[in-house]
Amino acid sequence: MCELGVRLKEAREAKGLSLKEAAQALSLKAKVLEALEACRFEELPEPPLAKGYLRRYALFLGLDPEPLLALYPAKPQEPPPAPSPRRGFPLWPFLLLGLLALGGVFLLRPKPAPVVEVPEAPPPTPRRHVLRLETEPPGARAYLDGFYLGQTPLATPPLEGGKRVLRLELPGYEPLEETLALERDLALRFTLKPLPAPRAEGPEEAPPPLGEGGLVLRLEGRSWLRVTQGERRLYEGIPEVGAELSFPLPVEVRAGNPAAVRVFLGGRDLGPMGEAGRPVTRRFEAPSR
């Protein structure tokens, strides 16, 4: 198994998902994901479509898709040539007799009627449609099948029709994902739901200032993040590079590309959260005094 397949399989197993469950969540066939994890690239469709599947799968697993796309081979491997037959008893007398017999059959059989080939009609050109998006509040990052479209409001160039997966992300708001039937020009408007504000532990105790006793995550590259506090999800998405996200303690953080996430705990710089391209989950408690 190649490094690309190992990363995908480890990330899927870390989420506790089977190939069938992941395929159902992405509206893909399980054999496509199985071929990606087993590095059987010759079983996948043409590279542009296969890379789109890889990007969607990586984002779903919380991985940064760019390093994985760099590992995708430019040309699928071809099967090794068949071994040459061993030398043995000469076959040319039998081949000669076979050719003579075949020639006799062709000479004695009646001539077939000429066959007129009818050229096949070219496949119909797929229809394309324009997608217009607005969000409240504006400025959400929009992705279609894992490909970044821009920030709302926006209007796309004509896109190929069919079932497409739309994802909207905005810091401080719950990410929104919806499957679209792009069979005509669409103009859609979505209202994003804000994440619940963290509540203080008691009516008399206020949480310490985040710069002193909280957790700050600074994005030095692209990485998917999920931050939870108990059963509550405080954030999930891919923040802008350079963004700083603050959270009260204690929290649990999962990062798809930990090397791009610098951690500040209680005002102290703890460095990157982990290694590049290896998803990790860490729990952060209030520092002892």
- Closest residue by Cα to residue 257 from 68, 100, 18, 72: 68
**How would you class 193 by CB atoms within 10 Å of its CB: exposed for 0-12, middle for 13-18, buried for 19 or more?**
exposed
Q: Which two tokens stand for residue 172?
A: 């401080």
pLDDT of 152-176, one tens digit each? 999 999 988 888 889 899 888 999 9
Residue 277 has pLDDT above 90, yes or no: no
Mean pLDDT of 253-273: 94
Residue 30 has pLDDT above 80, yes or no: yes
Indicate whether this model's pTM tops 0.75.
Answer: no
Which pLDDT value is given to residue 79? 52
Question: Which of 12-26, 156-170, 262-276 has the highest average model confidence (pLDDT)?
Answer: 262-276
Spatial CB neighbours of 154, under 8 Å, sequence gap ≥ 6: 132, 133, 142
pLDDT of 94-105, one tens digit each? 777 778 777 665
Mean pLDDT of 1-29: 86
**How would you class 31 by CB atoms within 10 Å of its CB: exposed for 0-12, middle for 13-18, buried for 19 or more?**
middle
Which pLDDT value is given to residue 3? 85
Pick the more confident residue, 142 or 78. Answer: 142
- Closest residue by Cα to residue 157 from 181, 128, 182, 200: 128
Pick the more confident residue, 141 or 228. Answer: 228
Which pLDDT value is given to residue 210? 43
pLDDT of 202-256, one tens digit each? 454 444 444 456 899 999 999 999 999 999 999 999 999 999 999 999 999 999 9
For the chain, counts of helices (H) and of strands (E): 7, 17
- Closest residue by Cα to residue 167 from 178, 156, 180: 178
Q: Which two tokens stand for residue 220?
A: 């030095």
The DSSP secondary-structure symbol of 185 reads: -
Percentage, residues of the chain above pLDDT 70: 78
Cross-strand pairs, 229: 232
Using an 8 Å Cβ cutoff, are 221 and 257 in contact? yes
Which pLDDT value is given to residue 112? 58
Mean per-residue pLDDT over the chain, rounded:
82
Q: Which two tokens stand for residue 206?
A: 């206020």
CA distances from 206 to 20, 201, 203, 266, 286 (A): 46, 8, 8, 16, 14
Three-class SS of 200-259: CCCCCCCCCCHHHHCEEEEECCCCCEEEEECCEEEEEECCCCCCEEEECCCEEEEECCHH
- Mean pLDDT lowest for which of 10-14, 117-121, 137-141, 185-189? 117-121
Which pLDDT value is given to residue 149? 84
Which pLDDT value is given to residue 115? 61
CB burial string 195-216: b at 16+ within 10 A, e below: beeeeeeeeeeeeeebeebbbb
Spatial CB neighbours of 220, under 8 Å, sequence gap ≥ 6: 241, 242, 260, 261, 262, 272
Pick the more confident residue, 75 or 238. Answer: 238
